[in-house]
Structure 1
């Protein structure tokens, strides 16, 4: 099952792209409400992998890698979001208490930026979930995260 969320921001594609790819900007918005992002080590190039950490209000840290397959600035990013330990070593999502149907090989993401008047339409598609419950959970987190991105822009 796939999940697609679209937002329109009052910023040009180049500014939205920077917020998606520059460490200091990613740290300001990544994660759902109440979560912070203490680490965003970005390596945005085909074959590159970023390491991003989000921290819950209780101090639990969840680490992700974003391994890029397509980087077409400022129009398109494709990457696989994987779950890992603090050193970037892959771990099964279920070992972190996440739903068992999240693919262990990672969740493919497609991000497109389309000029829209003076701003940008951003569309994020996540692929490969097995249940509607996991899609619903991911949608909630993604929508909150994209709302935080709006505040950065």
Structure 2
């Protein structure tokens, strides 16, 4: 059973249509411009959130540290939402505990609002760490979206 203390929700408004925002959060060429926190680069991936199926992203930090996340895209409902599972891999490549992410888009005035819900994180500390990571990632998206 999920502990709501281990779930997080972040909202950010964007001055683009819901359709445009949906393209930015699902299409691989656009995802690569903002995926991952500030200071992190994606060096290998199969990121396509436009369809159900497997995905992965391997990222590298400024000091060379590497991160590997993978999961399954579970639903795609343009231009309203996309959901996917999420699990980090350890240094041996073993996949860790799975959590669930949903991006939801709503019309907001002449723009759109993106809600990120990340559920089923195993501890409050991991929820806090992911909140920082998603906030930084949203900063990158806000700086790139046109």
Q: What interval of TM-score do these two structures reach, taking the shorter chain for normalisation?
A: 0.7 to 0.9
Contact 1:29 1:37 in 2 (8 A): no
TM-score of the aligned structures, taking structure 2 as reference length: 0.84
Matched, 1:112 2:120: no
- Please, which runs of 5 or more residues in structure 1 have no aligned partner? 94-103
Count the aligned residue pairs. 139
Q: Moved runs in structure 1, 4+ residues, more than 4 A? A: none
What's the CA shift for 1:112?
0.3
Distance 1:84 1:35 in 2: 16
Question: Which position in structure 2 is the counterpart of 1:100?
Answer: none
**1:117/1:39 Cα in 2 relative to 1: closer, same or farther (>3 Å)?**
farther
Question: Which position in structure 2 is the counterpart of 1:139?
Answer: 131
Secondary structure of residue in 2 paired with 1:30: coil
- Please, which runs of 5 or more residues in structure 2 have no aligned partner? 1-5
| RMSD of Structure 2 on Structure 1 (CA) | 2.1
Question: Which position in structure 2 is the counterpart of 1:126?
Answer: 118
Distance 2:127 2:19 in 1: 29
Deviations 1:6-44 (A, max 9, x none): 100111112211111222211111111211123342343
Question: Which position in structure 2 is the counterpart of 1:57?
Answer: 62
